[in-house]
Amino acid sequence: MEQVRSFLEKRLKERLPGEAAHVQMAPKSKTGNRLRFRHSDNPRLGAVMILFFKKNDQWYFPLIQRPKYEGVHSGQMALPGGRFEPSDPDLITTALRETHEEIGVEPKDVEVLGQLSEFFVAASNHKVLPVVGFCDQEPKFVPDPTEVEEVILASLDELLDVNKLKAKQITTTYGYQLQSPYFHLGEKVVWGATAMMLNELRHILQEA
């Protein structure tokens, strides 16, 4: 366990896989093309947290299921996180603040190990920084009912298990049909931007 932690602290300071890892989990249209979105505004900044903790001699991290709402990510699986606020000194602060607001984990209990490549979420026009953190103990999760329908725990073993990497046809909130790779984590389908960011982490951990 400690070896993985030390490896991540060092490896996340070096050159990251980025787009090469992201594209492997990118959804495609029925014609087989990557999705393209046009936005007139500059992307909004945001951050998410991949928060590892120890439980029964394994590493886990929380995923959240979004409630149903009028929006592009309605009902989807996600990492805790959200938009950058002017009061945030940086995006790491954003990730820590949003993790506290959404699932109740105190920033003081999180050791930041590093960050992954910045990721553009085209569907919602956000530029997101995935932050990797670690808690010494299993957190007591207190989900915000307005933002989180359920907290799901996924294990690091699941993320690295090739049998959990699958593909299926997915219908989006607005009725578009996509062919998408996904991770089967915590008995949930994790696809889209979240899967693409997690795949970069998977690539890195496979080097260890």
Confidence category of residue 1, pLDDT binned at 50, 70, 90? low
Mean pLDDT of the chain: 92
d(CA 122, CA 130): 15
- Do 129 and 43 meet the contact criterion of CB atoms below 8 Å apart? no
- The model's pLDDT over 138-180, given as tens digits with 9 standing for 90+, comes to 999 999 999 999 999 999 999 999 999 999 999 877 677 899 9
Q: Which helix (H) or strand (E) holds 122?
A: none
The pLDDT, as a whole number, for residue 204 is 98
- The model's pLDDT over 8-43, given as tens digits with 9 standing for 90+, comes to 999 999 999 999 999 999 999 876 665 565 656 789
- The model's pLDDT over 37-88, given as tens digits with 9 standing for 90+, comes to 565 678 999 999 999 999 998 999 999 999 886 656 567 899 999 999 999 9
CATH code of residue 116: 3.90.79.10
The pLDDT, as a whole number, for residue 176 is 76
Q: What angle do CA 80, 181, 133 make, to 5 degrees?
A: 25
Using only C-alpha atoms, what is the Rg of the chain?
16
- Do 179 and 186 meet the contact criterion of CB atoms below 8 Å apart? no
Confidence category of residue 102, pLDDT binned at 50, 70, 90? very high
> In one letter, which amino acid is 30?
K
d(CA 121, CA 119): 6
Give whole-number Cα distances, 194 to 27, 31, 150, 198, in Å: 12, 23, 16, 6
d(CA 96, CA 107): 5
The pLDDT, as a whole number, for residue 111 is 97
- Do 82 and 94 meet the contact criterion of CB atoms below 8 Å apart? yes
Which residue is associated with the tokens 């014609």? 31
The pLDDT, as a whole number, for residue 196 is 97
The pLDDT, as a whole number, for residue 33 is 62
Number of domains in the chain: 1
The boundaries of the domain holding residue 186 are 2-205
pTM reported for the whole predicted model: 0.92
The pLDDT, as a whole number, for residue 19 is 95
d(CA 186, CA 104): 20
- Cα 15 from chain centroid? 19
